[in-house]
Structures are given as C-alpha cells and as structure tokens.
Amino acid sequence: MSRATYTTPQDAEAAFYEAIERADLDAMLAIWAEDEEVVCVHPGGARLTGFEQVRASWTQIFNSRQRLQIRISNAVYVQGMMLSIHSVHENITVVGEQAPRPPIVTTNVYIRTGGGWRMLVHHASPAPQAPGPAETSKILH
C-alpha cells in the first residue's frame, strides 16, 4: 500500500472524506496513524481503538456498498505543532435517497508523524435536526 504524505491536517481531512465518498479502503487506511492509540467512534457506535479495530470497521462499512456524499460545514480548527483539532458538521446524503440525513457532529484529531499528518481520532455523533440551547434540557450532561 503506497501512502500519500499530507503536509497539512487540512490535506489529510480532505483525503479522509474523499476516501469515504469513494469507499476506498486503501486510501482510508493510509490516512490513519498506525498506532495503538488511534480512536474511532462511528455515529451511535462504540469506541474502537487501535489500527486493527479501525481497519475492520471501515472494511465492513465499505463492503456495505452504500455510497455517501459528504459536505463539510461549520469547521472550527485549532492547530498545534504536533496535534490539530477539527470540529465539523458532516452533511451526508446517501446516494439513492432524496433527503439528506441529519447532520453529524464530528471531532477529528490529526497528529504530525514522520510521514506527514495522520488521523488520530475520529469521533462522530448524530446531532438533533434543530440544534439550540433548549436541547440541553433533555440530556444527562
């Protein structure tokens, strides 16, 4: 598997969402740090840790043959020397469905390695359709 080198976390993030849209497993795995400390939480899912669990989950997802289009909005970035934090809304349309799905709130963390910026954390969770302060009255904390 040849690995691209991403010189910025933004490049790694663009490649991450392109890999999902193309259901390209090699491209997806090339973006992740090969590390026991990688963390992946798919919407509504359990926490996966370590490269092997991450690999297994994307293999299963891409095998489903469900094709997705993703538009990113509301990005907030905080970048350090070694780590870069991205908070985004994923606006996902399943190809073949008319209406877009409710937005997904996602925290992505990238780490600078000898081979460029790689994904360290992907934490995605479904957001309510009409977000607002009133939402907090229903939640535990």
Q: Are 58 and 23 in contact (CB under 8 A)?
A: no
Closer to a copy of itself by CB, 2 or 81: give it: 81
DSSP character at residue 133: G
- The distance of closest approach from Cβ of residue 71 to a copy of itself in the complex, given in angstroms and rounded to an integer, is 14
C-alpha–C-alpha distance, residues 112 and 83, integer Å: 6
Contact between 72 and a copy of itself per CB under 8 A = no
Sign (positive/negative) of CA torsion 103, 109, 112, 118?
negative
Binding mask 79-98 for a copy of itself (x = CB under 8 A): -xxxx-x-x-x--x-x----
* Best CA proximity match to 89, nearest among 68, 67, 108, 117: 108
Q: Which of 49, 51, 72, 113 binds a copy of itself (CB under 8 A)?
A: 49
- Burial (CB count within 10 angstroms: exposed 0-12, middle 13-18, buried 19+), residue 26: exposed
Contacts to a copy of itself by CB under 8 A: 20, 37, 39, 41-47, 49, 53, 56-57, 60-61, 64, 66, 68, 74, 76, 78, 80-83, 85, 87, 89, 92, 94, 101, 104-105, 107, 109, 111, 120-121, 123-128, 131-133, 135-141
